[in-house]
Amino acid sequence: MLAAIGVGSVQELFDRQIPESVRSSAPLALPGGLSEQEVYAHLRELAARNVSAEDELCFLGAGMYDHYVPAFIDMLMERSELLTPYTPYQPEISQGGLQIMFEYQTAICELTGLPVSNASVYEGPSAVASAGYLAKLHNGRARFVVSAGLHPHTLQTLRTYARGYGLEVVEVPLRDGATDAQEWAQAIGEDTSAAIFAQPNLYGAVEDAAALSAAARECGGEKLVTIAQVDPIVLGILAPPGECGVDVAVGEGQSLGNRLDYGGPSFGFFAAREAHLRQMPGRIAGQTTDVDGRRGFVLTLQTREQHIRREKATSNICTAQALNALAGVAYLAWLGRRGIVELGELLLSRTQYALQTLSSLEGVSPLHARPVIRELALRLDADVAAVKRRCAQEGVNPGVDLHALTGRDEDRGGLLVAITEQRSRADIDRLAEVLGAAVAAERGAEVSVG
């Protein structure tokens, strides 16, 4: 091969292609190699440092949640015919995988109230960034207007993509926990490509999705694309984004049948209106009939650069995330139409109980007054990191330190508490007992030091 392309060695090939200015001549700062036995011992020691959600009473959330995963989902995901396949290039031998993709798309469409879904993307943040790229392709405009209620990881991912597109990202602040409606309308104009918000947002607040979508359309015109990053687990009781004027609904699917496996893998979902069908990333499975009139499935649309000319590709993603999407559609089928409503109602009820119980503690107050449904933000009159350390000693993880997550000054003292069906009223009472004692101890320590 080297002779065919006219070079004498692999090094010469690299020398011709990689400019000297971007090469690293220094040796990599890596330790010496270890034997297999030594590596095993090292990994075992690292694993022992981890605390799982089953080892402590866990109220962590902010994007990843400790939901119950029924045993049959593990059984399905471990079946070799589902675990091993890659993209189903040959439909005649991939009917099972293609049907899973088709049924998954159907479930996401029903959940979001939008007519078209792809067969998954990597995860939530890159789904938002891919939706931004869709908007750029759709209208060619130069700005994204985003709510500060988006998850910081989502904002970081979107800014990274936008820099490559040459687009500006304008962040709209919150007012009492939700997107400031006046600032939102003022930020959006004829040069806005997409208006993006989260539902519920990072602080657990339920946004007025219909009002945000209507204002975006009024200020940005018909070409503007409204994008909502939604939590799928609460769509059983919240109005679906498609009914609220949203053009593209995306999000993180981990809460649908995927475990907390060291942060992944999970899957991202992506649904849109038909006008955006050909700008969607990934792939879309379709239903057809074969020559004998039997129901069959095919890949209807593939937008990766492997399939079409690179300059026309809209993504290079999807791989075997379909395995995680399988868990998602299996979980939704397990819940059923009534089950997802009942789960949402349970989360709503327990979150309200947690909000009332925790807010009654001395030195603890709600961060905002907006409605919450599965996650709530508190303000502690004490150092959050120190409070979390005290709680950990009692086997309780009270939630996410908002300032550590966002870096925003206004989030100092903020604690984000996630409620799932795994957390009973007794668990919430235990959290109240431990959190109240920890806050009191820290406040007392601060007074003593003062």
Domain of 219: which CATH number?
3.40.640.10
Residue 86 lies in a domain: yes
Residue 301 lies in a domain: yes
pLDDT at 446: 60
Residue 7 lies in a domain: no
pLDDT at 309: 62
Domain carrying residue 117:
71-332
CA distance 405 to 407: 6
Strand extents, DSSP E, 77-137: 116-117
Domain shared by 357 and 292, yes or no: no
How many domains is the chain built from? 2
Nearest partner of 209 among 182, 185, 242, judged by Cα = 242
pLDDT at 450: 46
CA distance 176 to 172: 13
SS3 355: helix
pLDDT at 243: 97
Domain shared by 327 and 345, yes or no: no
Nearest partner of 374 among 200, 249, 253, judged by Cα = 200
Domain stop point among 278, 307, 332? 332
CA distance 396 to 435: 9
- 294: exposed, middle or buried (Cβ count in 10 Å: 0-12, 13-18, 19+): exposed
Domain shared by 272 and 371, yes or no: no
Residue 409 lies in a domain: yes
Instruction: List the CATH number of the domain containing 398.
Output: 3.90.1150.10
Domain stop point among 299, 332, 365? 332
pLDDT at 299: 87
Domain stop point among 332, 349, 383? 332
Read off the tokens for 94.
Answer: 């991939």
**Which residues on neighbouring strands pair with residue 376, listed in sequence order?**
417
Instruction: Give average pLDDT by consecutive 10-residue segment, the chain, 450 residues.
Output: 92 90 88 94 93 92 95 91 77 87 96 94 92 94 97 96 93 97 97 97 97 97 97 96 97 94 86 93 89 91 63 64 91 96 97 97 96 96 97 97 96 97 97 97 69
DSSP letters for 185-226: HHH--TTEEEEEEEES-TTSBPP-HHHHHHHHHHHH-TT-EE
Q: For residue 293, which amino acid is it?
A: G
